[in-house]
Amino acid sequence: MTRQQLVEQIRTKRSYLVVGLDTDITRIPRHLLSAPDPVFEFNRQIIDATKDHCVGYKINTAFYEAQGLAGWQAMEKTAAYIPSTHFKIADAKRGDIGNTSSQYAKAFFEALPFDAITVAPYMGADSVLPFLEYKDKWTIVLGLTSNTGARDFELQKAGEELLYEKVLRTAAQWGNADQLMFVIGATQASEFTNIRAITPNHFYLVPGVGAQGGSLKEISEKAMNKDVGLLVNASRAVIYASGKEDFADKAKQVASEYQQEMAGYL
């Protein structure tokens, strides 16, 4: 998906919501457990219910890998089921030496039909460049994450700046704003003005709204750019809005509320 297509989706739907499919088989409604593939069945119903209110889906690969082969199969089926109009993110946090990162790129951009993958920056340029070789695919580099552990390294001094600032500045040289985004946690709202100054044109994938407590309003006010430049992810707040048979209806309702709030900021 090109940047232009993504921005058009956002403008048309008046939404920059991404729904995170962190689907945990121990948390899905019990009545689904008799389905042939409960995780896929849950995702299918969530996608059908929320697709008019969001512009993308983010699959958290960990939850699928934890279920072994059946989990990988559920991930394949889910990725194939997401409408082609929607931005498909593999939240995989991969990254390794070049010849290995090439294999990860192949896994998520060829064997699976994702538009984007999240990658870890620690190992530097050659661990990220293989992902950027794919035309119209997106590489989403971890910048400043939403968890408390962000204080251990990301928010520590690295020369004249903080490590996450160095990562933003450096990674912005590896690829342009048509192929590279950054993960910026919603709980780091105090840093958003600074982050937007460092990377004025890039899109941010922003997790941490909802269960993790980040403020959609504050992020939107501080970090929106002329192309919106934000994809805000909500996972648990949407998909586990209800643990009962009405889970899809409740997910739709929460997704719709996010969309309406976003429309007000656009």
Nearer to its own copies, 11 or 166 (CB): 166
Select from 203, 213, 189 the least CA-distant residue to 115: 203
Q: 19: which 2 tokens? A: 């729904």
List residues bridging with 205 in a β-sheet: 183, 231
Q: 195: which 2 tokens? A: 């982050």
Using rule CB under 8 A, residue 36 touches its own copies: no
**3-state SS, residue 20:** strand
Using rule CB under 8 A, residue 85 touches its own copies: no
Binds its own copies (CB under 8 A): choice among 94, 196, 202, 252:
94
Minimum separation from the CB atom of position 61 to its own copies (A): 9
Report the distance separating Cα 118 and Cα 125, nearest Å.
15
Residue identified by tokens 């934890």 is 66
Site residues (CB under 8 A) for its own copies, limited to 237-256: none
Minimum separation from the CB atom of position 199 to its own copies (A): 17
Site residues (CB under 8 A) for its own copies, limited to 135-194: 142, 145-154, 156-159, 163, 166-167, 170
Is 93 annotated in the active site? yes
Helices marked H in 14-154 — which ranges?
Answer: 38-50, 61-65, 68-81, 98-106, 125-132
- Outline where DSSP puts E strands in 14-80: 17-21, 56-60
Residue identified by tokens 């699959």 is 59
Report the distance separating Cα 184 and Cα 205, nearest Å.
6
Q: 70: which 2 tokens? A: 């059946």
Choose the catalytic residue: 13, 77, 88, 93. 93
Q: 151: which 2 tokens? A: 């204080």
Using rule CB under 8 A, residue 214 touches its own copies: no
State the number of CA atoms in the 13 A half-sphere of 108 facing the CB.
31
Report the distance separating Cα 154 and Cα 56, nearest Å.
27
Binds its own copies (CB under 8 A): choice among 8, 52, 126, 246:
126
Using rule CB under 8 A, residue 101 touches its own copies: yes
Binds its own copies (CB under 8 A): choice among 7, 35, 120, 224:
120
Using rule CB under 8 A, residue 66 touches its own copies: yes
Using rule CB under 8 A, residue 107 touches its own copies: yes
Using rule CB under 8 A, residue 50 touches its own copies: no
Binds its own copies (CB under 8 A): choice among 33, 80, 125, 266:
125
Using rule CB under 8 A, residue 30 touches its own copies: no
**Residues forming the active site:** 93
Residues that bind its own copies (CB under 8 A): 22, 24, 60, 62-63, 65-69, 71-73, 76, 91, 93-98, 100-101, 103-104, 106-108, 110-112, 120-128, 142, 145-154, 156-159, 163, 166-167, 170, 212
